[in-house]
């Protein structure tokens, strides 16, 4: 189960993102920021090696329809590779980050 921590214009997700419950928790956290067109938003994913398709679809809506400038910092190389295989590295502005 993922734990979501809100920061300024960003959220940190700890734990594996497994199902719709985790996806909804992340969506609710993002929506609480009331983002507008052109806003920048960051997501730091500490532990998860996967990302459900429902979350990918939601993030695509954010960047394409809502024109949010998204940055994802993924700490697990498997997640970075998965998103790269899906052709999302540029769209999501993926950065690989080793855990501190």
**Where in the chain are the domains?**
3-96
The per-residue DSSP string of 73-99 comes to: EE--HHHHHHHHHTT-TTTTTEEE---
Of residues 100, 80, 76, the one with CA closest to residue 92: 80
Q: Look at the domain 3-96 and name its fold.
A: Transcription Regulator spoIIAA (3.30.750)
User: How long, in residues, is the chain?
Assistant: 100
pLDDT confidence of residue 97:
75
Six-digit token string for 92 = 């999501």
Name the burial class of residue 82, with classes exposed (0-12), middle (13-18) and buried (19+) by CB atoms within 10 angstroms of its CB.
middle
pLDDT band at residue 25 under the 50/70/90 scheme? very high
pLDDT tens per residue across span 35-93: 999 999 999 999 999 999 999 999 999 999 999 999 999 999 999 999 999 999 999 99
Q: Tell me if 2 sits within 8 A of 17, measured CB to CB.
A: yes
State the pLDDT at residue 98. 60
Residue 5 is predicted with a pLDDT of 87
């Amino acid at each position: 189960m993922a734990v979501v921590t809100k920061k300024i214009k960003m959220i940190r997700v700890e734990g594996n993102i497994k199902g719709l419950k985790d996806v909804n928790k992340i969506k609710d956290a993002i929506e609480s920021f009331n983002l507008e067109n052109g806003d920048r938003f960051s997501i730091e994913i500490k532990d998860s090696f996967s990302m459900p398709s429902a979350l990918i679809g939601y993030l695509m809506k954010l960047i394409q329809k809502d024109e949010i400038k998204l940055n994802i910092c993924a700490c697990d190389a498997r997640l970075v590779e998965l998103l790269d295989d899906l052709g999302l590295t540029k769209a999501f502005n993926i950065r690989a980050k080793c855990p501190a």
